[in-house]
Chains A and B, each alone.
Chain A
């Protein structure tokens, strides 16, 4: 009889401990469906490197007085960036690493190599804070096909979402921030002076 009681007590302790532990950590796999940007395509054949750092990006953070968060953004990165650049350029080719291209090759005009540089978030603690907030910053690097860096362009996005369900709100805020990044890249790409010059050169070469 005492064996049965102690086993039951042990089961209760395990259940309570696992409930407490699951309450202390949050794991989010960012789910997103990004729309195609409504922008005019640039007449450029572009290579795109999505490396493992970007595709497997995981943000881990322990917030004081809260929980530990594991946020997996890799798949959302790929979804957002491929859709975005496919809409922006007449031709896009994906690579895992820098492509070895013959100097006179006309297959691609340049190579884009985006990196996720910073990710920050804030989850409300008090009842008066109503929004989950997310800041995200990418660095978009453009290379010539010979590997020479043309420019590095930092692009930031901010997103917030109403705190109704913590995980859903965090997911929504991340998606809003990533959409902001996509909006900036797709609408301001041709406003960057170095990119303007580079596009001008490509245009001149095409016309020759």
Chain B
């Protein structure tokens, strides 16, 4: 009887674990064969001209840090220093939205010289955000003389949708785009004690985009078709 109960508990727990997970879809498209040179740098900037959403600073930092680390680390310019050194031309209301506007901006001699002094060849524009798309369930907690405890199941689903568009400042053109759509479902079962099993789609989007950006910037023939995975 005890064994049967244990099996039942394990089955329920595994069922709950199965409900928690991250699904990743990444679509890279590269329009040219350019790769980053040894002395060239890249900078990751958030698109901030939307009124409703903007890429969070933490994912910009996450991608920048990961690109700059490891055995095959790239030269990554600090995004805040880049925006400060080129102030006011990369402020939310002033930043070029198209490569035509970029070309116009770089006709200004002082701006061009400043860009050249940073050594940045590629700007990665990160657009998108992480939002909660659904949530449900419920947990009740109670306390008494004999003790306290919770019972129930709560869940929520977050979507991380980002575009990383790579601009080549030397060719004054867009080198391509990597699109990432990551959804993650978190669950919190409570049987006396609530146990949060949290999915982190933003971190998964950061990992996926970093991996793809590294290949994008170092492999000439990279980027055709979607990549889908589930964890």
> A: which residues have CB within 8 A of B?
35-40, 128, 160, 162, 176, 179-180, 182-184, 186-187
Contacts and interface: CB of A to CB of B under 8 A. Distances in A.
Contacts of A37: 87-88
The 6 closest A-B pairs by CB, nearest first: A183-B88, A35-B84, A35-B87, A183-B91, A183-B94, A37-B88
A180 B89 contact: no
Given A38-B111, A38-B114, A40-B110, A184 B87 contact: no
Contacts of A176: 92
Interface string B92-124: 111000000000000000110010000000000
Contacts of B87: 35-38, 179, 182-183
Interface in B69-95: 84-89, 91-94
B56 A180 contact: no
Contacts of A183: 87-88, 91, 93-94
Interface in B2-47: none
A180 B110 contact: no
A37 B56 CA distance: 25
A179 B80 CA distance: 13
6 contacts: A35-B87, A40-B110, A183-B91, A183-B94, A184-B93, A187-B94
Contacts of B89: 38
Nearest to B58: A162
B57 interface: yes
Nearest to A183: B88
B132 A187 contact: no
Chain B's interface size range is: 10 to 19
A35 B114 CA distance: 14
Contacts of B85: 35, 38
B56 A38 contact: no
Given A37-B88, A39-B88, A39-B110, 11 more contacts: A35-B85, A35-B87, A37-B87, A38-B88, A38-B114, A162-B57, A180-B91, A182-B88, A183-B91, A186-B88, A187-B88
A179 B57 contact: no
Contacts of A35: 84-85, 87
A161 B54 CA distance: 10
Contacts of A179: 87-88, 91
A180 B83 CA distance: 12
Contacts of A186: 88
B132 A128 contact: yes
A186 B91 CA distance: 12
A192 B114 CA distance: 27
Given A162-B56, A162-B57, A38 B86 contact: yes
Contacts of A36: 87
Nearest to B54: A160
Nearest to B86: A38
A82 to B, nearest CB: 15
A182 B88 CA distance: 8
Most buried by A among B56, B88, B89, B91: B88
A187 B90 CA distance: 12
Q: Counting chain A CB atoms within 10 Å of each CB, which of B94, B110, B114 scores highest?
A: B94
B93 A180 contact: yes
Nearest to A161: B57
A38 B93 contact: no
Contacts of A187: 88, 94
Interface string B115-142: 0000000000000000010000000000
Residue of A39, A160, A183, A186 with highest tally of chain B CB at under 10 A = A183
Contacts of B54: 160
Given A35-B84, A35-B87, A162-B57, A180 B111 contact: no
B111 to A, nearest CB: 6
A39 B87 CA distance: 9
A145 B50 CA distance: 42
- The listed residue with most A CB atoms (<10 A of its CB), out of B54, B87, B94, B114, is B87
A44 B171 CA distance: 37
